[in-house]
Structure formats: structure tokens, C-alpha cells
Structure 1
Amino acid sequence: MLLVYVYGPDGLTEAMRPWLRLLLFPVLSLSGLALWKQAQLRRFLAGVRGKDRAPLSS
């Protein structure tokens, strides 16, 4: 989609500009941040999930 914006005709790119600003760029930013902080995100999610589970009785 980004390539269509860069290499597409002007009429098409003008119609796509709001969608790119409101949807594509934030999604790319958040996914890049998640990849960068993947280890911390996993630890956080494991901690959140671990607190919700009931302890096993033996």
C-alpha cells in the first residue's frame, strides 16, 4: 500500500492520504515498537496472565 502511495498517480494518492495518516502509519509505528520491545512485552504479558490463573493444588 505504501508503494502505491509513492508510485501511484496523483489522484489516487490524494484519496489515500487520510487513510495512510490515520491507519497505516500508526499501525507501522506500533508494530515496529512491538518488535523492538518484544522481550519486555512478553515478560509483561506473562506477568499479567500469570496473576489471573489460580494456583494449582496438589
Structure 2
Amino acid sequence: MAENQKAQAKTEQAKGKVKETVGRTVGNERMEAEGRMEQARGDAREAKEKTKDVFRH
């Protein structure tokens, strides 16, 4: 289960980065902000999983 969550975090981060880049390229501030938000969600999920790993070992 943890590996699935880690993969989901990486996917969110990647999707967010792409969305942010596309938004910046086309001048769409809303898309750019949504991309940053997705990246932040991915970062938070990754941090949560890393914390869980620390307490498992």
C-alpha cells in the first residue's frame, strides 16, 4: 500500500509540474496555479509516506 501511495505522490508531482509549465507557456495563470497546487499535494503525500516509513523501521 505504501508503494502505491509513493507512486501516486510522484504522479501528482509530475502532473503538476507539466500543468504549471503549460500554464506558464500559454499565459494561463489559473492553470499554472493548479499545477503548483498539484505539486504541493504530491509533496505533502510524499512527506507523509516518508514519515510513516521512519516509524516503521
TM-score per shorter chain, which class? Answer: 0.3 to 0.5
**Which structure would you say has the larger RCO, counting Cα contacts within 8 Å and 6 or more residues apart?**
2
